[in-house]
A and B are shown apart, each in its own frame.
Chain A
Amino acid sequence: MTRLSRVLLAIASVLLLGAFLFPLWRIDLVAPQYPEGLGMLIRVNTVTGIQPNDLANINGLNHYIGMKPIEPDTIPELRIMPWILAGLAAFGLLVAALGARRLLYGWLGGFVTLAIAGLIDFWRWEYDYGHNLDFEHAIIKVPGMTYQPPLIGTKQLLNFTASSWPALGAACLGVAFVLGVAALVIARRRGADVKRASMAMAVAVAACAPPGPQAIADKGKSCDYCRMTISDERFGGQLITRKGKVYAFDAIECLASYYLQNGGAGDGSSIWVADFANPGHWVEAKNALFVRNEAHQSPMGLNLVALSDDGETAAAGQVQGTTLRWQEVLALVQSEHGARWDHAEADSVAR
């Protein structure tokens, strides 16, 4: 596991403790004579009213339909759940400390299992309260009527409209899970540097984050222009549309050709090229310095590589040859291959 993924997992573990601070679930009850509403908050270790007396008032009303009173002390899960959650948090911290990726799988698996079990258990309690009514003492009996509130959503129960939704505590758990998955994704990616990983995290945690470049040499991905499998990312490029769709290319020539054929990249999109000197690092094409040197045998024969233009790489003499800018690369590709530049032809020539 990388340092970043361990940090993410540690954060996720601490976030689990948010469930001790905030309610997991919220059930709101609104009726004609309760315009201000009554409600319950399901917490990790108890059930409380939204207003101080709501639970007592809900129980008071429920005695009419024969529902047994909701008494947090009689629900054993509320005594167990804090320990389970604390245990999961502690386990997560342990995995982060050890940095063992295999254990991370265990952590995530346990998380999913407990979450599903918790929801099923919650539903069963709702079912129990809603169905196991004391008909002998119930004052209001409506044949066929049961009073199980929904797990998620809204339902009419006699004069009350019951709405049940996850609350902030559950949101903490959700974010913790996403971070855990992100930690795993990052841990699985060898050689990922901090910047790349933080890009990935940004994508994972907040879907609204601007799209950034991804690794393209994984899992036999093929070039979106020439269809060749991308085996060496160092010559590659990618085009990311406004909506986040990624077009991957095995060579800068392919990227440029795709660009030329499509008359540009489209609004809001970004074009990235691999930093040849700095594997796994991507540079926006408009900021990159391109070098043409026969020493670099790029897949498509124009011997083009890209470098991050921080002024050091070229100055250090790491790469020698003709330097170009992105517009010059486009012009070169246009003149070398023309509008009819056909990769299949080049492919056959190469073979």
Chain B
Amino acid sequence: MSPLQLNRRVVVGAVGAVAIAGLVFACQATRSKPINLAAGDAASRVYIAPGQYDEFYSFLSGGFSGQVAVYGIPSGRLLKVIPVFSQNPENGYGYNDESKEMLQTTFGSIPWDDSHHPELSQTDGVPDGRWLFINANNTPRVARIDLTRFETDEILQIPNAAGGHASPFTTPNTKYIVSATRFSVPIGAKRDVPIASYKENFKGTLSFITADQPGKMDIAFQILMPGYNYDLGHAGKGPSEGWFFFTSYNSEGAYTKLEVNASQNDKDYVAAVNYKKAEECVASGKAKTMQADYDHNYTDPKSRIATTEKKTSVKLLDPRDCEGVVYYLPTPKSPHGVDVDPTGEYIVAGGKLATVIPVHSFTKLAKAIEAKQFDSTIDGIPVLKYDAILAGEVQKPGLGPLHTEFDGKGNAYTSMFISSEVVKWKLGTWEVLDRMPVYYSVGHIMIPGGDSKKPWGKYLVAMNKITKDRYLPTGPEMAQSAQLIDISGDKMKMLLDFPTIGEPHYAQALPATLIKDKSVKFHSLAENTNPHAVRAESETNISRTGKTVHVEMVAIRSHFAPDNIEGVQVGDTVKFHVTNVEQDWDILHGFAVLGANTSELILQPGETRTLTWVPKDEGIYPFYCTDFCSALHQEMQGYIRVSPAGSNVPLAANISPKAKAQMAGAK
């Protein structure tokens, strides 16, 4: 029986179950009063009345959209899309002069990436609502999103890496976030090697990135690893604090047809990293300083201008030079997720081809290390005996276990990709308690705080990879689908389907109360340090430097100042520096000019943004406000005149007396 056939059977069975459930609820509906909570009252469970707020903010990765989507839970309402690794013409992120450096890498500016795993910053192992981190998988990077503004402020490129998949999981106080290579590659000076020399030349790295200070993200050290595919990770906590666990697959060292060749071994490895030990070794000079070029981009919160810092070296630690820094935990079979329970004792690995869910014990792991219960050593990394570290196995959990989250009440929930279900089981007894079919083929699941010390175990969100018939059809390409499940009782209850942007991989959520009152309403104009900021109409300005014309403009309800500009010539580059001088909540303006080869600007109150425009032909070009700001928004427009090169039309703008004085001086 192929997985596909089984999948169909499960689906048919599940549809039947839903049909029966429907009958049951139909019967219940005739009762005057429902006796207990059931999926029959799902509508009221997820209904948030107009003007009311959701209980949780959830942050779903945008996957191949490169962004983060924020949904309210339990309503499933989309609150915001935060641009991170992809240009966003909707608000000009990555297009305007101020923000485009955010997408700078050593490969040049990259307009897109594949964002995978959102991770909330933590204090003492609990999400604290300061920041959200997320990784870029294609060109390895990590980003910091400030949760007072829901904006990407910082992006750090990861050198010596390809496929930044096992990222950006955090240590309990966000001292470090991590990034590990999914695609091992040759690193160092000699990179032009035959692909067939994989086993000899290809390496993995585990990067530990300091993350607890905005603007100061940096790679503390990298650990050089055998050339496997490092897939996911999670930090230890409580007794296991100071350790980090990464899954790996392809211990076969396959470099072609991995679906077959990397699925040969019965067991691959979870790498257990003692990062306190690594710190010691780095401090005592055991790491090599290696030349490596990578970019660090940071947006100054006052000027709101992103700048790129070029970095040139990393500290690389070889486990052979630092005994006891890494151990391998044998784990069946091509493990994907590795998740640490709230107590920090159990390390759960989801072997995507395994028939059980293996759970390692941190206590046993520590003892096995002490007793040197090793099977072998790989590149200086001892491989512990499977039986010596195993706490237990969940038998017959389903097919294709991927990811596990915890409810803080002693239960674990694991997503089953192939059998398309979420399975609830008990920590310690390893017995399966409940199953909930999900539609279709679930990848990650998320419980608010479900990977932390204190989960808010009320809801579970399943992020499904296949949508098919869940919504009105939209052609061959459709939104992906999330499902909200009530996990507050003994049995899971399906509450809601909601479509998502891109492909959500992982997600994080936390109570809205941890964030909502810190939300910024506008930027202080007085603190705006953009050199082209103007704070009043009297400060507006127009000037020429060679072939570049700078227009320093004001946007305010409901006009631009100036709104008539002349004296620009074909061949000039015009920089529209527009400042939204409003100091009022949710009064945004936009700016677009006919024929511009870039996106519009969206201007938050108090913010300055720059649109660069190179007019190619003479004529009159209108510009206008693109964000419906006020009753007279349609009147918020202006004209710019472009004359042929060498024309004697003087540079002029209306309204600004300062500009007029300057022009008089220029004559």
Which A residues are closer than 8 A to B by beta carbons? Answer: 36, 52-53, 56-57, 60-61, 64, 139-140
A60/B556 contact (C-beta < 8 A), A139-B632, A140-B631 known: yes
B101: Cβ under 8 A from any A Cβ: no
Whether the Cβ atoms of A53 and B631 lie closer than 8 Å is no
**Extra pairs beyond A53-B584, A140-B631 (7, CB < 8 Å):** A53-B522, A56-B583, A57-B582, A57-B583, A57-B584, A61-B557, A64-B631
Q: Are the C-beta atoms of B631 and A36 separated by less than 8 Å?
A: no
With a cutoff of 8 Å between Cβ atoms, the chain A residues found around residue B584 in the complex are: 53, 57, 60
How many residue-residue contacts, CB under 8 A, span A and B? 19
> What is the 8 Å Cβ interface bit string for chain B, positions 106-127, against chain A (1 contact, 0 not)?
0000000000000000000000
Count of chain B residues near A, Cβ 8 A? 10
Please determine whether A60 and B557 come into contact, CB atoms closer than 8 angstroms. Answer: yes
Contacts from B to A (Cβ < 8 Å): 522, 556-558, 582-585, 631-632
Instruction: For B583, list chain A residues within 8 Å (CB).
Output: 52-53, 56-57
In the complex, which of the residues A36, A56, A64, A139 contacts B585, with contact meaning CB atoms closer than 8 Å?
A36
A53 to B527, CA, bound (A): 14
A-B residue pairs in contact (CB < 8 Å), sample of 9: A52-B583, A53-B522, A57-B582, A57-B583, A57-B584, A60-B557, A64-B631, A64-B632, A139-B558
Chain A residues with CB under 8 Å of B582's CB are 57, 60
Looking at the assembled complex, report how far the CB atom of A73 sits from the nearest CB atom of chain B, in whole angstroms: 16
Q: A114 CA to B585 CA in the complex, in Å?
A: 39
Complex CA–CA separation, A36 to B586 (angstroms): 12
Q: How far is the CA of A56 from the CA of B584 in the complex (A)?
A: 9
Quick one: which of A52, A60, A64, A140 has the most chain B CB within 10 A?
A60
How far, in whole Å, are A53 and B585 apart by their CA atoms in the complex? 10
**B contact residues around A57 at 8 Å (CB):** 582-584
The smallest C-beta distance from B176 to any residue of chain A, in angstroms, reads 39
CA distance A56 to B582 in the complex (A): 9
- Distance from B437 Cβ to chain A, minimum over Cβ atoms (Å): 42
Taking CB atoms, residues of chain A closer than 8 Å to B585 are 36
Q: How far is the CB of B583 from chain A (nearest CB, A)?
A: 4
Most chain A beta-carbon contacts within 10 A, residue among B522, B558, B585, B631: B585
- Chain B: CB-nearest residue to A53: B583
CB distance from A64 to the nearest CB of B (A): 7
A61–B583 Cα distance when bound, in Å, is 12
A58: nearest chain-B partner, CB-CB: B584
| Bound complex: CA A36 to CA B585 (Å) | 9
Closest-by-CB residue of A relative to B630 is A64
Q: List the B side residues contacting A53 at CB < 8 Å.
A: 522, 583-584
Q: Bound complex: CA of A61 vs CA of B582, how far in Å?
A: 11
CA distance A57 to B522 in the complex (A): 13
Q: Which residue of B lies closest to A63 (CB)?
A: B557
B557, B584, B585 — most chain A CB neighbours (10 Å): B584
Query: Which residues in A have their C-beta under 8 angstroms from that of B631?
Result: 64, 140
A52 — which chain B residues lie within 8 A by C-beta?
583
| A61 (CB) vs chain B CBs: closest residue | B557
**Shortest Cβ-Cβ A-B pairs, 10 listed:** A53-B583, A57-B584, A56-B583, A139-B632, A60-B557, A53-B584, A36-B585, A57-B583, A60-B556, A64-B631
Distance in Å from the Cβ of B481 to the closest Cβ of chain A?
A: 34
B78 to chain A, nearest CB (A): 22
Query: Which residues of B lie under 8 Å from residue A56 when comparing CB positions?
Result: 583
Residue of B at shortest CB range from A52?
A: B583
Find the residue from A36, A52, A139 having the highest chain B CB count within 10 A: A139
CB distance from B536 to the nearest CB of A (A): 10
Q: Bound state CA distance, A297 and B584, in angstroms?
A: 81
Cα–Cα, bound, A53→B606 (Å):
11
| Residues of chain B within 8 A of A139, CB atoms compared | 558, 632
- Among A36, A52, A53, A140: residue with most chain B CB under 10 A: A53
Residues of B within 8 A of A140 (CB): 631
CA gap between A57 and B581 in the complex, in Å: 11
